[in-house]
Structure 1
């Protein structure tokens, strides 16, 4: 077996203000942080740097190692199998990049995960692929620490409970919203949403929606009310969040009422 590498997968919510004491302690132990660079002006990289500055180690903030994010097919017309295949290939390419850096640098590395690593994030899956790629070359061990998730923030900002008394909440993606409705779900959190014009709200006009974008960031936007009344407002609110922060992530809770 070659060298030993430690990887820490850390949930950081949406910035320094959401970092738990447990994650702050972990940040002080890492040698460097790996981050995907999605564009030449990736403001999420700057947010990662702000987190590292807020929780420096003994020798100052950990180094951020930025790697150009591999391209993936984001075509609007992708079928579900096509989408899943595109994501799998993207993860493979990311894993190969990360494995090369970990093989070369060793030590203790970290990934900062927006929200919580357990919910619509694939860092754990990618790190498992890295372990497989480095098998026989490096002994890769990792741990996972939770963070504040987007649904938690959505509920807090709107001052609601995500489900009614004794009832379930179904969490899915925006592209699968109608699948959830067809399956009888009537209290749905949708994440990883495409632009609103690509969401299908057919049959949900009289439902109630609680929507939010860039929760916890300066560009945070919130909307709520009868779905048919709120949906026309989402494009402008989403665009305003992106203009403010340089990126946009949104989600919503839709409930039959």
Structure 2
């Protein structure tokens, strides 16, 4: 039986690793690294660089596994559920194949394991279930607001964190003037009336490739679409997040 550490690694900058996270990486007998295809090889390489920086003197064992493709023909939620089952099976098989058997296994989680990440749900499908330790990391929202030097909320006011899919399908949620949007590959902000909102967008946050755009949505939106398309074509992948606020005259 092994212990499992889920280690938040921020948004790709090795400086985002906390001291606690660095110690957990160093202490691991085995580190699992997912592979998402040749066009996203940079994601595995970034994890390798982080590990090499933390473990310069005694490199740990690394085992790679391929992320299965998600299939949504039976609906989004069913597709995600089946996908998590398949990933859990890959974890289990990869760990079982390690010789000697590891006592401590680690996964490096992009961002923070608590925020729109499914690693804890996948871990719960392992049998037997390991003892798990979560090491928090810098979230994409922290990196976004820091990059733009803005607070996320107004004084005493709430804000909502959601996904691009929910914004696209359900529109602007009631009861909030500020919306943080994650997992939005289709840029759902295009469905809003641009003159009513300001936007702060960022990709590759904290990295040398960082891209930032902000301003009134009707003017910044086209710039975001063009910048995002160029960056994705250049790198083969993109991770981005944005904050939307209703303009004062629309509240």
How high is the TM-score relative to the length of structure 1? 0.87
Distance (Å, rounded) in 2 between the aligned partners of 1:213 and 1:195: 14
Task: Indicate yes or no: 2:5 matched with 1:15.
Answer: no
Give the C-alpha shift of residue 204 in structure 1.
4.3
Match of 1:84 in 2: 77
Deviations 1:114-153 (A, max 9, x none): 11100010011111111xxx23xxx621100000000000
Does residue 135 of structure 2 align to residue 145 of structure 1? yes
> How much does 1:219 deviate?
1.7
Displacement, 1:243?
4.2
Task: Indicate the residue corresponding to 1:49 in structure 2.
Answer: 48
Deviation at 1:199, TM superposition (A): 4.8
Corresponding residue of 1:113:
109
Aligned twin of 2:182: 191
User: Runs of 4+ in structure 1 displaced over 3 angstroms?
Assistant: 243-246
Quote the Cα distance in structure 1 between the aligned partners of 2:13 and 2:148.
19
SS of structure 1 residue aligned to 2:191 = coil
**Within 2, Cα distance between the matches of 1:61 and 1:246?**
28
Q: Secondary structure at the match of 2:125?
A: helix
Q: Any gaps of 5 or more consecutive residues in structure 2?
A: none
For residues 101-180 of structure 1, what are the structure 2 equivalents within 5 Å?
A: 101-105=94-98, 106-107=101-102, 108-130=104-126, 134-135=127-128, 140-178=130-168, 179=170
Aligned to 1:25: 23
> Which residues in structure 2 correspond to 1:181-220 (within 5 Å)?
181-196=172-187, 199-220=189-210
| Structure 2 Cα separation of the partners of residues 151 and 55 of structure 1 | 25
TM-score (normalised: structure 2)? 0.89
Contact 1:7 1:109 (C-alpha < 8 Å) held by counterparts: yes
